[in-house]
Amino acid sequence: MTAALELDGSSAGGQFLRTALALSVVENRPVRLENVRGDRPTPGLANQHLAVLETMTEICDADVTGAELRSETIEFDPNLDRRPGRGGLERLAGGHYTVDIGTAGSAPLLFDALLPLSTVLESPLSVTVTGGTDVAWSPPLDYFRFVKLPVLRRFGVAAACEIDERGFYPAGGGRTTLYLAPSRLDRIDLVERGPLEGVRLYSTESASLADRDVAMRQAEGALERLHRAPSLELRERCETTARSPSPGSVLVIRVDHGSGVAGFTALGERGKPAERVGEDAADAANRFLDGSAPVDRHMADQLLVFLALVGGTVRVPAVTDHLETGCALLERFGGRIDLEAGDDRTTVAVTSSLGPDD
């Protein structure tokens, strides 16, 4: 039996847990995590983190200890050697699973943990989640659908997402489904941005806010603030009124360029004018447009787990705490990481890759 990899989350948050579980499955390597979410005001597993752990456990038929709320130590063994696939390769069976986070915990963050599993699937997998779709401290669902998935599809991840109902804070109650198919990834190289091509706006309001024209006002606020070069045409403007148990709104701006896309978001808040929501997202987009990196600062650390699987080089707009923590975690799994900083020339290079050999 392979000894569990000992990991310390005392200076990390939920993303450390999600990435560690994903790499544990792909590498078929047991892990022991101590001090889970140790740098958060309330450490240990919250509902959304427990939902990720329980979903991974069910999909893999894994052995797990510490799967309970507020637990600060967990042990997880995916046991993929009990599920041989074609040619003797260790593969996960697909199927359909349902998950109820039970709060407004983030469905997109749960999906983030599952995406790398596409590289070890034997057959298609779908997971329907009830919870928050657009909540604080996590990517809105439209960022996941219209920014992250298009980037990953370019490098071979076969994934799609459908939404039935929005879930804003505090009630959650949104319902969305992730579809994954067995995938073979290509090396990820995103160093040059390429020419700017267009911008897309996705502005959403709950039905309870429709009489205030929140979605339209968010979009107008964004367009008035956004610095658009003549070549950066408005390619799409989508304003949606959606069912949701809680009032809420969200805006996602996508910038299309020669080597991919980048995304910028803002959530509505009680007492905050809808126009200001649009302006906040546009300010983030403007900072990106003033630089030359091909990915936004959030995508930078979300790509790390895929860099670990196939190798590659990505230039990022900033070295965030999430990025540094993620790089350190990859090194614990045996990856070799080069992080070179400079004026808008910061690159993350993975010179050896993890993951299954095909």
Burial of 356 (0-12, 13-18, 19+ CB in 10 A): middle
Find where tokens 């995590």 sit: 33
Q: Give the whole-angstrom CA distance, residue 244 versus residue 105.
A: 15
- The answer to whether 227 is a known catalytic residue is no
Q: Give the whole-angstrom CA distance, residue 150 versus residue 48.
A: 25
Tokens of 222: 């964004």
- Integer angstrom CA distances of residue 156 from 182, 254, 339, 342: 10, 21, 24, 30
> Treating both helix axes as pointing N-terminal to C-terminal, what angle do 321-332 and 14-27 enclose, rounded to 10 degrees?
30
Q: Give the whole-angstrom CA distance, residue 220 versus residue 265.
A: 15
User: Smallest Cα–Cα separation from 55: which of 95, 1, 5, 4?
Assistant: 95
Residue 332: CB atoms within 10 A of its CB come to: 14
Burial of 100 (0-12, 13-18, 19+ CB in 10 A): middle
Q: Phi/psi at 319 (nearest 5 deg)?
A: -95, 100
Residue 358: CB atoms within 10 A of its CB come to: 7
| 14 three-state secondary structure | helix
| Catalytic residue list | 322
